[in-house]
Amino acid sequence: MFRALRFLGFLLVHTAIAVVGFVLLPTPPLLAQRTLTGAEAKSHVGEQATVCGKVMSTLFAERRRDGPTFLDVDKPYYERVFSILIWGMDRSKFGEPETAYRGKRVCVTGKISDYKGVAVIVASEPSQVKLQ
């Protein structure tokens, strides 16, 4: 009798741990599935997400030391709410992103950051930016 109760307690505890682990601890790929618009991105700084929209304006700041390229999503530069930022050291992987993506609908995946008051995702690999 004691052996049966001990086994039942063991089974109950391990089943409870498995259920709690499954329900309360989602896997990272599930968290990365969040899809946002450019306007929504500002409220999610610090989070991993996918942001989709149309590239309305582009800028390659070639004279700056770090040579950034900005792809402004959903709004043009002077009204921008979200940008894809490609630093100069990664630019060669993308070809000429300011012409390749201008006017196209894209989705970019990565961690949303704040860059001078604008929500951005830094794209260091072309696989982060998908044409829709």
Query: Do 127 and 118 touch, CB atoms closer than 8 A?
Result: no
**Cα-atom radius of gyration of the chain, to the nearest Å?**
22
Question: What residues contact 79, with CB distance under 8 A and at least 6 apart?
Answer: none
Whether residue 94 lies inside any domain: the answer is yes
Residue 9 in any domain: the answer is no
3-state secondary structure of 26: coil
Asked if residue 14 belongs to a domain, the reply is no
Is 96 domain-assigned?
Answer: yes
Report yes or no on 92 lying in a domain: yes
Amino acid at the residue 31: L
Range of the structural domain that residue 120 is part of: 31-131
Taking alpha carbons only, the member of 2, 87, 82, 69 closest to residue 39 is 82
**DSSP character at residue 102:** T
Residue 5: inside a domain, yes or no?
no
Q: Residue 94 sits in a domain of what CATH number?
A: 2.40.50.140
Per-position pLDDT tens, the chain of length 132: 545 445 444 444 454 444 334 434 444 444 446 799 999 999 999 999 999 999 999 999 988 889 999 999 999 999 999 999 999 999 999 999 999 999 999 999 999 999 999 999 999 999 999 999
Q: Is 22 part of any domain?
A: no
| Tally of domains in the chain | 1
DSSP letter (8 states) at residue 75: S
pTM: 0.74
pLDDT one-digit tens code per residue, 52-68: 999 999 999 988 889 99
